[in-house]
Amino acid sequence: SGLLTRLQTSAPTIRTLSSSNSFSQNIPSCLWKLGRLNHVAIAVPDLEKAQSLYKDVLGAQVSETVALPEHGVYTVFVELGNTKLELLHPLGEKSPIASFLQKNKAGGMHHICIEVDDIKAAMTELKKKKIRILSEEPKIGAHGKPVIFLHPKDCHGVLVELEQA
C-alpha cells in the first residue's frame, strides 16, 4: 500500500477553466453562422481547355456545362473531395465574366463561395455592419440555392459569394 499512497499524493492537480472565463464571451453572437467553403470560382477564356485540364490531365471528376442566363455565365464544377472549383465562362455580352476576362486575358480567380445557414439573417446583419451586398434580394445560384455577393472593396479585394446551405 506504500507505493499506492505515494502515487496518489504525487499525482498532479488538474484545474479546469470556470465558465466565467469562457473564451466565447468575446465572440459576438450572430443570428446566422458561416459554414464551409463551397467552391472557388475561376474565370476561364476557353471552357473546353479548362475542362480538359482538370478532367484529362489532373483526373478530376468534372460536371457537364450548365448555362445560367440570369447570371450571364456557363458553369462547370470540378469535384475536389473537400470542396469544388467552379469554372466560369461568359454567356452573353453583358456577362460579368466577359468584363473580368477583358481585364484578365488568361483568366483567374473570380470569387470564393462560403455557405451560410441563414442567408436572410446574414444579409440583415452584414448591411448593419456596412458591408455592401451586390443585389437587393438573393438570386438562385448554380446549385439551385439562394446566393448573394458581397462587394470586394468591403472584403479586402475578394468577391465573396454566400450560399444558403
Tens of pLDDT, residues 97-134: 999 999 999 999 999 999 999 999 999 999 999 999 99
At 100, which amino acid appears? F
Q: Alpha-carbon distance 160 to 155, whole Å?
A: 7
Distances (CA, A) of 112 to 37, 43, 142: 8, 12, 13
Domain chopping of the chain, boundaries:
34-164
Specify the higher pLDDT residue, 118 or 23.
118
pTM of the predicted structure, to 2 decimals = 0.80
pLDDT band, very low/low/confident/very high, at 93 (cuts 50, 70, 90): confident
Give the per-residue pLDDT at 2: 55
The CATH class that applies to domain 34-164 reads: alpha beta
Q: Alpha-carbon distance 98 to 110, whole Å?
A: 12
Give the per-residue pLDDT at 29: 66
